[in-house]
Amino acid sequence: MSESPIGKVCVLLAIISVLILTIFSCGRKMLLCRCETCQAYLTSSWSKSFDNLCDWYAHLLRNSPTKTIDIHVLGNTITANPDNVEYILKTRFHNFPKGKTFSSILGDFLGRGIFNVDGESWTFQKKMASFELTKTSIRSFAFQVVNFEIQHRLLPLLLLSKQNHAVLDLQDVFKRFSFDTICRFSFGLDPICLELSLPMSDFATSFDLASKLSAERAMSVSPFIWKMKRFLNVGSEKKLREAVNMINILAKEVIRQRKKMGFSSRKDLLSRFMTSVNDETYLKDIIISFLLAGRDTVASALTSLFWLLAKHPEVESAILVEAERVMGSDNNEASFEKIQELHYLQAAAYESMRLYPPIQLDSKFCVEDDVLCDGTCVKKGNRVTYHPYAMGRLEEIWGSDCLEFRPERWLKDGVFCPESPFKYPVFQAGMRVCLGKDMALLELKCVTLSLLRRFHIELVAAGPHHRNPRFSPGLTATFSCGLPVKVSPRGTQ
């Protein structure tokens, strides 16, 4: 239609209508709320003082007596109050589901996957995944997959980088590594993203774009904008549709390959789901959820941890001293049992995610009018967001040194001691607690140990990211400038 003169006029009129509706909607909201916070959000004036939206939110929450704020123009209550978090995720769990609004925002990307549904669909996927992930056999399989990828892909890549004296984007490397790992573990297939002769796969590239554009939908003041753009198939919505189409094609190819190879006796998670699910669209959505959980979050956690370790050599040294004490001086592959004895390494991983959680915030929607523990009233249909990034920066929770990277805060007589998940909701908490938590931590620790014992990794000072990370829009935290580093063999720097 848009190729004919009449079609072009129709599209132009539709776009003008969208703009008028948007201006009216935003203008109405601005007239309804003239508070400083809402005006700062609408005009983006917060960006004059803060590099990231999450840092502005953390500032507002830190200065709020209740550690809760309202962004009225978004209909969003944001909290960093642990009592509120427990109320939302546990006490009144059924009154704060993901909700239809959230499912609509992420529906094109995540479909009916576990992160985007409530009710029976969520319960089924949780039971299936929980049952499989608690098996000793699946944990052993995950350990084998991670170690194979480290020994045969990750270490050779860093050795080659060292020989060529090249600057390496470690964030990109971790994305490739975690993508290969989750594909092998979840689907029994190997995309070989770390092979230097191959570019990042179309699947991975489309996945990044779909995550970014879906997150931008969630940040929009008015849904009129993205819904009309989707209807007209223009701009960012056209890009999102193309990215999702690529993801869907390749996800369905994964299912086809798994059926062709057989799945009744396979160890990967997809094969186990396929014994109970025949709906290919549903299986496709499950695949995409696996990828979001196992690729993006792990890559984000690794990137932040290595950024912090490069800036805190005393923590890096403490990890190496512990590793030598527990495992000896050689660099042989660590056993699963020995990995569990590395309490300081576990503390460093938790401390890194306290300051830089892979998921910086998470939203629910209120089913019926409610009152949070701090007295904040939440109206039916409004969004409620808890903010792990801001919570990690609260003196009331972590003390006066809350902005410092100090793994020792997690240790008691040298033994790792976790905090309440409602003070540290990095893996969520309550009913929706992350089912892959142990797998993610295992991968995080194995990679960190293998790289630190063999290489010295030095940040390349290039731009503001060297001092403080700047994040790109997305469902998970991603350094906008990547993580450029130089690698040298341990002991030669």
Structural domains of the chain, ranges and CATH numbers in brackets: 33-489 (1.10.630.10)
**What pLDDT score does 413 carry?**
94
Residue 346: pLDDT band with limits 50, 70, 90? very high
The amino acid present at 363, given as its one-letter code, is S
- Integer-rounded Cα Rg, in Å, for the chain is 23
Annotated binding site for heme: 434
pTM: 0.87
Q: What is the mean pLDDT of the chain?
A: 85
Annotated binding site: 434
Which one of 98-112, 195-209, 283-297, 474-488 scores highest in mean pLDDT?
Answer: 474-488
* CA–CA dist 448, 55 (Å, integer): 27
pLDDT value at 470 more than 70: yes
**What pLDDT score does 30 carry?**
42
E strand or H helix at 59? helix 53-62
**What pLDDT score does 269 carry?**
76
Q: Are 170 and 197 in contact (CB under 8 A)?
A: no
Q: Are 140 and 151 in contact (CB under 8 A)?
A: no
Sign of CA dihedral 47, 51, 57, 58: negative
